Amino acid sequence: MPDQKPLSFSEIYRSGLVSFDMILGVSKAMLDTISQAKSAALSDAPVLLVGETGTGKNILAQAIHNAGGRSKRPFCEVNCGGLHEMLQESELFGHTRGAFTGADKDRDGLLMLAQGGTLFLNEVGDIPASTQKKLIDVIEYKKFRKLGQDIESTTNIRAIAGTNRDLDSLRAKGEFRDDFYYRLNCFRIEVPALRKRKDDIPVLVDSLLREFSARESKNVSGVSPKAMSVLVDYDWPGNVRQLRFVIWRTVATVDSEMIEEEHVVETLELSDAKSPNTPLASLEEVERNYITKVLCLTNWNKTRAAEILRISRVGLNRRIHALRISEPA
């Protein structure tokens, strides 16, 4: 009988199975956000998801796509942060052979691959102004040009953008175009930070305990009231992503059925690099923790993690193996 472990979040995300049912929340702030996202799913207008890292912009984008009229077509994500301008444009628009050094064959970009579906412009605040201008034509006129090509191609995509940056101050500095902003801002959805909706913490903890107990083959059934109040009081700079990491690590390391205050305090210190109580660590621990953190922040997108770490993908895989880092559920 094959191992019937539940799918990990990254497996679900990659397989495109995210639905609104999986987005947990009981707080008024989160219920408002979910209800706005559900209305956006009924429309084809561009969406702008604004929220700190780890608040759920990616899962909301995918839930909107899956609940809408384009659900049978692709959902493509482009990470606009950190990529070299030319590579980013080539990823989006595609290129012809010889368009730039290293372009040895014709390649379609995401605008073509996402045809009929949704293009999720993640970290949209990092898109250079020249690319923003080209994307306006895509949203407004459904037209674009491959790099190195004069003739225009047409595409039919729905744009969803996500950002953790303050687009208003970027606009004030002239780094984000007003005309691009107004086009994306059709449905502006604020995704609240976890510390502003503490009612959601017990609900999320409960679900994460079940998820990680199953994945880790553990029998952890609950969190003591004191441990829960530590979790509720904490301010979660990394939001739900950090909460997932904390519960995963705690479940993986406890021997008891109940999670107690000291277990939570210990993992919180580890997950928060700013904590003054963290004992001095070995270089290997620092490297393991930092690589784990970058992998968590990128949802285990190794290409993206390798870019942030400025090492090759092969080098990243080697380190993951050597440092015995395992992918969370």
Ligand X SMILES: Nc1ncnc2c1ncn2[C@@H]1O[C@H](COP(=O)(O)OP(=O)(O)O)[C@@H](O)[C@H]1O
CA 119-122-125 angle, 5° bins: 120
Among the listed ranges 54-62, 67-75, 148-156, 251-259, the one in contact with ligand X (CB under 6 A) is 54-62
Which of ligand X, Mg ion, none binds 46 (CB below 5-8 Å, type-dependent)? none
Nearer to Mg ion, 36 or 122 (CB): 122
Q: Taking CB under 6 A as the criterion, which residues in 262-301 touch ligand X?
A: 299
Q: Minimal distance in Å, beta carbon 138 to ligand X? A: 22
Find which of Mg ion, ligand X, none residue 9 binds, CB within 5 to 8 Å per kind: ligand X
> Is there binding between residue 244 and ligand X (CB under 6 A)?
yes
CA geometry: angle 15, 17, 21, nearest 5 deg = 155
With CB under 5 to 8 Å by kind, the binding choice for 244 among Mg ion, ligand X, none is ligand X
Non-local (6+) Cβ contacts of 322 within 8 A are none
State the DSSP code for 46: -
Which residue, among 211, 223, 180, has the nearest Cα to 48 in the 3D structure? 180
Q: Which of 226, 236, 157 is nearest to 193 (CA)?
A: 236
Count of residues that interact with ligand X, criterion CB under 6 A = 16
Binding at 325: pick from Mg ion, ligand X, none (beta carbon under 5-8 Å per type): none
Torsion of CA 74, 123, 50, 33, to 10 degrees: 30
Q: Which stretch binds ligand X (CB under 6 A): 46-54, 134-142, 169-177, 285-293?
A: 46-54
Q: Which residue is nearest to ligand X (CB)?
A: 56
Tokens of 308: 């942030």
User: Could you list the residues that contact Mg ion (CB under 5 A)?
Assistant: 58
Whole-number Å distance between alpha carbons of 86 and 50: 26
The least distance separating Mg ion from the CB of residue 54, rounded to whole angstroms, comes to 8
CB atoms within 10 A of CB 113: 14
Q: Which residues bind ligand X (CB under 6 A)?
A: 9, 23-25, 51, 53-59, 240-241, 244, 299
